[in-house]
A and B are shown apart, each in its own frame.
Chain A
């Protein structure tokens, strides 16, 4: 299957620092999504990106859809303790003419585990 390389795998940062993580792939994606998962919960959608070059913010979070459509990054500014969790990227491949299912399926990165030291 398709591979998404998400890095770093884990981060330990001081409260107040900025955070950056990214996902890269050898395939072109139609959509990039960023999720956060807190312990004992399901992933929650943070930011969705639909066009190459698109830059979108959600509070202290900013994400960009790479111009080549093969990568995306997520930045968190001025981190706080409640930012702790695992962040996942997910990409949607362009629709295949032969299958409606292909236009829904997402490929997920393995996650970046963020720890914030107060």
Chain B
């Protein structure tokens, strides 16, 4: 298993450009999510999905779109990049250890380091 794979690892964008950050997991996890990590802010949830065809907003969704057409893939789109979106982006996937307890664990990709100039 490759786990959670993110591409690209590094990206520089000009203000106003658009791009898609890719995320794929091969663990058949239902739940996938995108976080951004900024110094001193910890991990903040951008968008998440509980299954193919279902997505919802997290804590900081503005400026980002997502879709989930398959269980494996969960791309994050920046519509019009702004310097405030300079950050490290992490994709994660999760599953329930048991349906009874609903305990969950999240597995992270290696991140995409995005700079918007």
Contacts and interface: CB of A to CB of B under 8 A. Distances in A.
Nearest to A48: B105
Contacts of A50: 97, 101, 103
B102 A108 contact: no
Contacts of A33: 105-106
A92 B94 CA distance: 12
Listed from nearest, the 3 A-B pairs whose CB atoms lie closest are A42-B108, A110-B42, A104-B31
Contact of A1 (B6, B59, B101, B106): B59
Contacts of B31: 101, 104
Contacts, number: 68
Contacts of B97: 50
Interface in A35-93: 35, 40-45, 48, 50, 88, 90, 92
Interface of A: 1, 30-31, 33, 35, 40-45, 48, 50, 88, 90, 92, 95, 100-101, 103-106, 108-111
Nearest to A44: B108
SS of B interface (majority) = strand
Interface residues of B, number: 29
Contact of A103 (B56, B59, B104): B104
B50 interface: yes
Contact of A104 (B41, B48, B107): B48
B5 to A, nearest CB: 11
B103 A110 contact: no
Contacts of B59: 1
A33 B40 CA distance: 20
Nearest to A41: B110
Interface in B26-48: 30-31, 33, 40-43, 45, 48
A44 to B, nearest CB: 7
Given A104-B30, A106-B106, A110-B41, 12 more contacts: A40-B111, A42-B6, A42-B90, A42-B109, A43-B43, A43-B90, A44-B108, A88-B42, A101-B56, A103-B96, A103-B104, A111-B42
Given A42-B109, A88-B42, A110-B41, A104 B94 contact: yes
B50 A30 contact: no
Instruction: Give the most central of B50, B106, B107: most A CB within 10 Å.
Output: B106
